[in-house]
């Protein structure tokens, strides 16, 4: 049983078999709705009313509430931890380029763009794109591989 504790059963890509240009399995998330925004406000601790209160959003001159940036980044996190175990994630950086509105159905994608032989790690380019082809979040991750 002790051996089992140290075992890592989750499949992890192997450094030598990963190639530059490899695509991570796409993560398609359901369209953003108000329930998700309300729940994420509670779960993340971000209670900014601009994401959950339409009255507040309208007073700020916006037509409606919009998604928390960190919700979109959490989905990119899922894309990565679905590819390799989280303990191998070394860096994650994003730029929020466009607002994710209600109804946006985000597709999270990633592609290996560089391999580092010394530390056996890979750099991954990340994107979160809506159904209209607009990139709302772009970024990069660094993942260590065996």
Can you tell me which of 16, 23, 64, 93 binds other proteins, judged by CB under 8 A?
93
Nearest distance, CB of residue 25 and other proteins, angstroms: 13
CB of 21 to other proteins, least distance (A): 24
For residue 4, the minimal CB distance to other proteins (Å) is 7
Which x/- pattern over 49-88 shows residues binding other proteins (rule: CB under 8 A)?
xx-----x--xxxx-----xxxx-xxx-xx-xxx--xxx-
Residue 66 beta carbon to other proteins: minimum distance, rounded to whole angstroms: 10
Report the 3 state secondary structure along the chain.
CHHHHHCCCCCCCCHHHCCCCCECCCEECCCCCHHHHHHHHHHHCCCCHHHCCHHHHHHCCCCCCECCHHHHHHHHHHHHHCCCCHHHEEEEEEEECCCCECCCCCEEEEEEEEEECCCCEEEEEEEEECCCCCEEEEEEEEEECC
Site for other proteins in 17-36 (CB under 8 A): 29-30, 36
Contact residues toward other proteins (CB under 8 A) are 4-10, 29-30, 36, 39-40, 42-50, 56, 59-62, 68-71, 73-75, 77-78, 80-82, 85-87, 89-96, 99
């Amino acid at each position: 049983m002790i051996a089992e504790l140290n075992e890592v059963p989750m499949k992890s890509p192997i450094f030598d078999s990963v190639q530059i240009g490899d695509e991570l399995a796409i993560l398609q998330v359901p369209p953003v709705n108000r329930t998700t925004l309300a729940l994420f406000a509670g779960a993340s601790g971000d209670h900014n009313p601009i994401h959950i209160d339409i009255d507040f959003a309208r007073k700020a001159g916006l037509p409606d509430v919009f998604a928390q940036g960190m919700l979109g980044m959490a989905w990119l996190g899922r894309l990565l931890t679905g590819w390799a175990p989280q303990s191998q994630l070394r860096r994650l950086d994003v730029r929020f380029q466009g607002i994710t509105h209600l109804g946006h159905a985000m597709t999270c994608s990633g592609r290996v763009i560089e391999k580092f032989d010394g530390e056996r790690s890979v750099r991954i380019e990340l994107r979160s794109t809506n159904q209209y082809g607009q990139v709302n979040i772009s970024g990069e991750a660094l993942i260590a591989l065996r």
